[in-house]
Structure 1
């Protein structure tokens, strides 16, 4: 976001997360809000931290990171996150997410 202004939604998520910093749902939600608000670096940092803390659970975080890099034309980073996400999704039996990320990989060529 421009300047230091934060959206009301982001402020609410930050307040909720301050009350329970271990809540993975809130952490993911705040990261996504940062991405929506245009604070891409912070959103990615949060998603990466979530994956670091829970590498076998965060299929959606891998996918969102891949998409954020794909949107900026960074195929190498996108490919890396989609590949890790596919492996994680398959291990969890989430074939829908694995297939979605496989489709993104195919778009990247």
Structure 2
């Protein structure tokens, strides 16, 4: 796999493990870093719908939505993410999401 980009390596590994949460999150982050917003959002959104939902994807997905100027969607993702993080006992990510939600204030309304 030498000579391949990080994204290409992750895509290759996903061929063998298509449901791997870590790989899917990594690919979403790579897409996000490359400016492939819709592809990144599709993966983050899918991860938030896993059982159990992938908590970090709520925050990273909401941050992406904010950059895409989809503020109201970002708020909804954050609210759901905060609830889920608390349910899973992940208070640090819940706090980060609450902070972003507060920062958004009335933006986009």
In structure 1, how many angstroms separate the alpha carbons of the residues matched to 2:41 and 2:67?
13
Gaps of 5+ in 2: none
In structure 1, how many angstroms separate the alpha carbons of the residues matched to 2:40 and 2:24?
10
Offset at residue 108 of structure 1 (A): 0.7
In structure 1, how many angstroms separate the alpha carbons of the residues matched to 2:65 and 2:17?
29
Equivalent residue for 1:35?
Answer: 32
In structure 2, how many angstroms separate the alpha carbons of the residues matched to 1:87 and 1:39?
28
Number of positions where the alignment pairs a residue of Structure 1 with one of Structure 2: 102
Equivalent residue for 1:4?
Answer: none
Equivalent residue for 1:89?
Answer: 85
Q: 1:60 aligns with which of 46, 56, 61?
A: 56
Whether contact under 8 Å (2:81, 2:94) holds in the other structure is yes
In structure 2, how many angstroms separate the alpha carbons of the residues matched to 1:30 and 1:44?
11
4+ runs deviating over 6 angstroms: none
Equivalent residue for 1:10?
Answer: 7
Q: TM-score, normalised by structure 2?
A: 0.87
Q: TM-score, normalised by structure 1?
A: 0.87
Matches within 5 A, 1:20-31: 20-31=17-28
- 1:46 aligned to 2:43? yes
